[in-house]
Amino acid sequence: MKALVYHGPGQKDWEEVPNPKIVRGTDAIVAVDVTTICGTDLHILKGDVPAVTAGRILGHEGVGTITEVGQAVSTLAVGDRVIISCITSCGSCSYCHQQLPAHCLNDEGASGIGWIFGHLIDGTQAEYVRVPFAENSLHKIPAGVSDDAALMLSDILPTGFEIGVRNGRVKPGDVVAVIGAGPVGLAATMTAGLYGASRIIAVDLDDNRVAQAKAFGATDAVNSSDPGWRDAVLAMTDGLGVDVAIEAVGVPVTFQMATELVRPGGTVANVGVHGTSVELKLQDLWIKDIAITMGLVSATTTPMLLKLVAQGTLAPETFVSHHFTFDAFLDAYDTFSRAAETKALKVSITR
């Protein structure tokens, strides 16, 4: 088969590799029908994730068709169309029982991490992928849900919802600011309304993404390159600040922005993946009764979100801005890596 293989910082290729095989009875082999690229893949290619070693097949998102199941798999069958979750869950360890498979104590590469595809084991940017703990890590797709819609449930939609909206404790009537209108920030924007937010304010430097945010559920949008951006947001809250500030970028300045926008008693929900330290001004925040949450997605809400997609309540296929086929994988990477120029949100790469 062919796969997108990492060969060290800055090096990748779409090349021939051996087909995956069943290793354990709980495995399944899935023919990948459509996959995508994540910002995390770009971090890996920069050398920012040293646990990813040369020779690893990248990717942790996908939709496909089961071609083989292990002898212990009884609830899935060959021919089932499935979402491949970005988080692999053994289903039996302490963390999985606590609904925290992000910290699954599986023995696939390392203990204590549920994100193993394209990280500690071969991933989904390939014609076939081996899925460990298949019954807990694959979701059957109901009829009527498109590949592109299902693909967004592998990672970005549950990430934006779980780490931004749910952990941010959004409740009916809240005013929510989402800082960063990239794919995950827009996923938080799309799902904040599920918990009754009365106003969702998108904040970003990019005019294109500021404009796009309203199509994903934002009631208001502010370009933070404007010197008056903070006053503009506060004016939407009677000067009090937002109830929930969701940080969806992962750099110090946007985290600082979130802490400046939140009102006393509010919550800062950090979704962005930070590569450097952030200054936490406790001397200012403690007296405001601010809660700060953060985390790695566990994807435990995927079944619920899938029901909402099937019912037409959510339309995550709108995240897909560009379509490619497997033989244009390198072109897809080029387009996604230059998102500011190409206006890419998520790319869909099909068999």
The H or E element that residue 303 is part of is: helix 302-310
Q: What CATH number is associated with residue 166? A: 3.40.50.720
Residues 184 and 327: their CA atoms lie apart, in Å, by 27
End-to-end CA distance of the chain: 12
Closest CA to 262 of 139, 340, 177: 177
The answer to whether the CB of 57 falls within 8 A of the CB of 13 is: no
* pLDDT tens, position by position, 162-193: 999 999 999 999 999 999 999 999 999 999 99
Q: Which tokens go with 44?
A: 């890996």
Classify residue 311 as exposed, middle or buried by CB count within 10 Å of its CB (0-12, 13-18, 19+): exposed
What whole-number distance in Å separates Cα of residue 25 and Cα of residue 131? Answer: 11
Residues of the chain short of pLDDT 50, as ranges, are none
* 289 shares its domain with 305: no
Of the candidates 254, 279, 294, which is a domain's last residue? Answer: 294
Residue 189 confidence (pLDDT): 98
**Residue 334 and residue 280 in one domain:** no
Of 272, 294, 316, which residue is a domain's last? 294
Do residues 37 and 139 share a domain? yes
Range of the domain at 222: 157-294
- Based on the fold, state whether residues 214 and 326 are members of the same structural domain: no
Asked if residue 261 and residue 325 are part of one domain, the reply reads: no
Same domain, 117 and 215: no
Task: Report which of 217, 242, 218, 212 is spatially closest to residue 230, judged by C-alpha positions.
Answer: 242
